[in-house]
Amino acid sequence: MKGHRHLTIVIKLGTSSIVDEKSHEPVLSILSLIVETAVKLRKDGHRVVIVSSGAIGVGLRRMDIERRPKHLPRVQALAAVGQCRLMSLWDSLFGHLRQPVAQILLTRNDIADRTQYLNAQNTFVELLNMGVIPIVNENDTIAVSEIKFGDNDTLSAITAAMVQADYLFLMTDVDCLYDKNPRTHPDAQAIEVVEDISVLAADVSTAGSSLGTGGMSTKIVAARLATSAGVTTVITRSSNPGNIVNIINYVQGSKQGQLETPSLPSTPAMEEAALSRSTASLNLDDLLMKPPLHTRFLPDLHPIRDRSFWLLHGLAPRGIVYIDEGAHRALADKAGLLPVGVVDVEGQFSQHEAVRIVVVKRLPRRASISRTVSESPSPSTITADGSLPNGSSSSGAYEKIKPAPFEVGRALVNYSAAEIARIKGLQSTEIQGVLGYADSEHVALRENISLSKAKKLSRPATPSPAETQAS
């Protein structure tokens, strides 16, 4: 890998990759190969982060329990036992090659707070500057469903964004992504490069193992998150970690070849040499050793980074604010969200919590509606936390089925759900008269809004914990 610039590489390993599904024994052969690969990458000058599942699986073996229990406290206790053993294995294996490692355990709460997010990011940077390989896992011992990432695929994508990685490798039990399930369709075709995930046509019906929580669908979600942050994301087989080096060599070599532009020759000798170089560049794919089978998701040309990424993917949305097309255009022009552009509100959330921003088409006031609720809740219907009762919508005066609503971003709001329900559609100067106070003229300040590519509401950019656990 000589001549390549120094890269930051995140490697995600699922439970099924490093823990035997039946015996629950750690697969030392795979762990050792991962260690050798990571150390080789370090010797080549690259930075490496490992996101490792497996704590609960190892805990089952340590406590001689055959099946993963359903009782949450028991699962969390096993995670505590297993994480200790798993980290001991990593430290021992890396220690034989004199490579220092560090343990980082995260929950969604750790990154939902902006200060804690920045502290975690600074810790990663300092460890990588010291030549340490951070080993990351979700803190299953204290995480409950409300604050879980849901699976380590999502955690690995957020980690890759935090460290501004060049590559995220999602190691799995198949070589790559296929257009059909290869286990049931022998004619399944490999998908080698994905330029736009939104138009991806693939079968992602493969589920996670009995020990893990993720399947292929969660890897697609992770790839969407990582590529939006400018991270090249790769799905490849975990049984041969050495493929990571070969894939990076191939991709980086291809990039260097694309940059070659031979100068105009001025003599026959120079012309022949230039022709030779040009041919080498044009036939680079043939000259480079063909890489192992994998699927590579290309990064977005205009990545979302730092605070914008944190707003979009670091926070768990508590509700939805529906806006009209005019408000959407204003947001695209870097304006804040005013109440006059708000059509509806849904969910239970308080001031300064995160919400999804969804665009709907504004229809006449007496248009047919899909459900009937009060136009503006009275103070007696507002709950103690300032939200609408039973997660209801504030108004049914706008059709939200046709055309399909599109999520266009996330925001931290200045008002609760119940407050927004009362001021929606009003001018900012009317807020004081309706609420009796006016904390801000904006429902959300522009600095607290992050826009993403429009997508149907049924395909949220970041899954909720319930969604990821279901997969």
Do 320 and 249 have their domain in common? Answer: no
Q: How far apart are CA 103 and CA 107, in angstroms?
A: 14
Q: Does the residue 269 lie in any domain?
A: no
What is the pLDDT at residue 362?
67
* Close Cβ partners of 184 (under 8 Å, ≥ 6 residues apart): none
Number of domains in the chain: 2
**pLDDT value of position 93:** 97
User: Domain check: are 225 and 357 in the same one?
Assistant: no
Nearest residue to 346 via CA among 291, 390, 378: 390
20: exposed, middle or buried (Cβ count in 10 Å: 0-12, 13-18, 19+): middle
Reading the block at residue 316, the tokens are: 């768990």
- Domain membership of residue 132 (yes or no) is yes
Model pLDDT, residue 272: 44
pLDDT at site 206:
53
Query: What single-letter DSSP state applies at residue 337?
Result: B
How many CB atoms neighbour CB 370 within 10 A? 11
Quote the CA–CA distance of 453 and 224 in Å, as a whole number: 11
Q: Decide: pTM greater than 0.85.
A: no
83 plus 231 within the same structural domain = yes
Q: Give one DSSP letter per residue of 399-455, joined into a string.
A: -SSSSPPEEEEEEE-SS-HHHHHHHTTS-GGGHHHHHS--S-S-SB-GGGEEEEEEE
Residue 369: predicted pLDDT: 37
- 322 shares a domain with 226: no
Report the CATH number that the domain containing residue 35 is assigned in CATH: 3.40.1160.10
Residue of 442, 422, 428, 452 whose CA lies nearest to 358: 452
- What is the model's pLDDT at position 389? 45
Residue 267 lies in a domain: no
pLDDT at position 316, please? 85
Six token digits for residue 38: 């990571």
Conformation bin of residue 326: beta by default, left when phi > 0, alpha when psi is -120 to 50: alpha
Within a domain: 284? no
Name residues of the chain where pLDDT drops below 50: 146-147, 208-214, 259-287, 366-393, 395-397, 399-403, 456-471
